[in-house]
């Protein structure tokens, strides 16, 4: 009996082990860290991701998705620490990717996505996700910039929206004469100076890089642009009481929603902010030297997938789901952002519900993005935030400031 008992016991243990290693034992939990696009608890991105994860899990019972959402001021640092501590998430939806790609920590889009999904990305956004001609950054959300103007202030002054720098200056002078506190808001403070800088560089016919991708911060066109800003806009007292180098984008947006600003550059979120405050506004392309700027600034945020946990197949399934037309549209509509795929963009362009975003959509094909594929960009961008405001100050020298930034950019690039 002892032998039989042992045999039965052994069989029981084997059965128990089989139960433990049966269906469900190979379940995978994917960790995703994402940024919060909401402006209140009611529309936190956590709610979007929780709904999306639940829908995905229902279709893929062997895969769970655990999403942690952080504010934009914290999310990049959170992911950086997780990676440094050896606990990289499976995916991170963040603002930059090139440093992780350069260190070999990321899966490429080719590793993960089905061909139909990868080919659906808008080309200029997909290209911006490349490092050494391999796509590691998958665009997740996009926006462009337009010149916003206060319709009520313009109507009272019998003004029309500007198409050129000269017209912008003339409108600003009239608004100043009529007592408008900030005729044109020029936020060159540390929060997002690199954005306002790039918009003006593009309107002047240049940008951060030249045609072959080298930094060109001190190009003749850029020096001319900042000479004009210093002398013809700031020097004429048309940018309000706060020095541009001390004015952050958030403060400029808030002033616009109070009715204190005549004109400023803005992205789609400003539409909702202004509408909530009852400010009537219009939007036009950024003025250029002789007419509307031929290109505007585009911005993309990025989805990345880390190699550390080795869940390539499961991550690929989830991202194929994330980038379906329906899910891209749902996210874009929830947060007034532009779709990153052809299919969702085409659907939005043809839907009357999305007409408020039509001008931003129209600007996207000709937009230019930050040079995020350069691992030096984070360092260069930080330098711009620190220094560019001094270029338009009373003792500023645009050529000298841009030259200093160019030399720093060259050093950062050569150090790679």
CA dist 354 and 302 (Å) reads 23
**Residue 2 — pLDDT band, cuts 50, 70, 90?**
very low
CB of 187 within 8 A of CB of 193?
yes
What is the three-class DSSP state of 191? coil
DSSP-based three-state secondary structure for 39: coil
Q: Is the CB of residue 343 less than 8 Å from the CB of residue 325?
A: yes
Provide the CATH number for the domain formed by 28-142+299-368 in this structure. 3.40.190.10
Same fold, 28-142+299-368 and 146-285+376-414: yes
* CA–CA distance, 161 with 159 (Å, rounded to integer): 7
Helices and strands, counts by H and E, the chain = 19, 12
Mean pLDDT of 290-318: 96
Domain boundaries, the chain: 28-142+299-368, 146-285+376-414
Tokens 């200056």 belong to 169
> Worst-scoring range by mean pLDDT, 1-5, 116-120, 344-348, 384-388?
1-5
Q: What is the pLDDT of residues 47-59, one digit of tens each?
A: 999 999 999 999 9
pTM: 0.84
Distance CA 265, CA 367 (A): 14
d(CA 411, CA 416): 9
256 close to 149: Cβ distance less than 8 angstroms? no
* pLDDT for 26: 64
Rg value, the chain, Cα = 25
Q: What is the pLDDT of residues 315-333, one digit of tens each?
A: 999 999 999 999 999 999 9
| Residues 225/206, Cβ–Cβ less than 8 Å | yes
Residue 147 tokens read as 């010149």
> How far is residue 190's CA from residue 384's CA, in Å, rounded to a whole number?
8
Homologous superfamily (CATH) of 146-285+376-414 is Periplasmic binding protein-like II (3.40.190.10)
């Amino acid at each position: 009996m002892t032998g039989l008992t042992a045999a039965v016991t052994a069989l029981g243990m084997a059965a128990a082990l089989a139960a433990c290693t049966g269906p469900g034992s190979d379940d995978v939990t994917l960790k995703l860290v994402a940024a919060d696009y909401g402006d209140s608890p009611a529309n936190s991105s956590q709610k979007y991701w929780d709904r999306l994860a639940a829908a995905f899990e229902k279709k893929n019972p062997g895969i769970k998705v655990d999403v942690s959402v952080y504010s934009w001021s914290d999310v990049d640092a959170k992911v950086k620490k997780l990676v440094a501590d050896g606990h990289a998430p499976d995916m991170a939806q963040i603002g930059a990717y090139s440093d992780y790609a350069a260190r070999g920590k990321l899966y490429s889009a080719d590793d993960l996505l089905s061909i139909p999904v990868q080919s659906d990305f808008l080309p200029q956004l997909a290209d911006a996700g490349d490092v050494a001609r391999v796509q590691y950054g998958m665009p997740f959300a996009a926006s462009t910039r337009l010149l916003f103007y206060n319709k009520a202030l313009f109507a009272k002054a019998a003004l029309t929206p500007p198409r050129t720098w000269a017209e912008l200056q003339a409108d600003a002078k009239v608004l100043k004469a009529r007592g408008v506190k900030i005729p044109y808001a020029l936020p060159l403070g540390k929060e997002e100076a690199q954005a306002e800088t790039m918009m003006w560089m593009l309107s002047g016919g240049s940008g951060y890089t030249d045609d072959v991708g080298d930094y060109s911060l001190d190009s003749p066109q850029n020096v001319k642009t900042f000479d004009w800003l210093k002398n013809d806009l700031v020097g004429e007292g048309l940018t309000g009481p706060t020095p541009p180098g001390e004015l952050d984008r958030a403060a400029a947006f808030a002033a616009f929603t109070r009715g204190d600003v005549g004109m400023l550059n803005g992205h789609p979120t400003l539409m909702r902010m202004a509408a909530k405050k009852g400010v009537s506004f219009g939007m036009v392309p950024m003025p250029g030297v002789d007419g509307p700027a031929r290109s505007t600034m585009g911005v993309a945020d990025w989805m990345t997938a880390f190699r550390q946990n080795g869940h390539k197949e499961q991550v690929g399934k989830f991202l194929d789901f994330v980038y379906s037309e329906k899910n891209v549209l749902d996210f874009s509509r929830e947060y007034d952002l532009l779709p990153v795929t052809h299919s969702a963009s085409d659907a939005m362009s043809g839907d009357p519900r999305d007409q408020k975003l039509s001008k931003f959509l129209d600007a996207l094909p000709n937009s230019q993005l930050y040079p995020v594929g350069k691992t030096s960009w984070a360092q260069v961008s930080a330098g711009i935030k620190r220094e560019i405001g001094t270029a338009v100050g009373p003792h500023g020298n645009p050529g000298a400031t841009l030259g200093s930034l160019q030399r720093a950019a060259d050093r950062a690039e050569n150090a790679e």
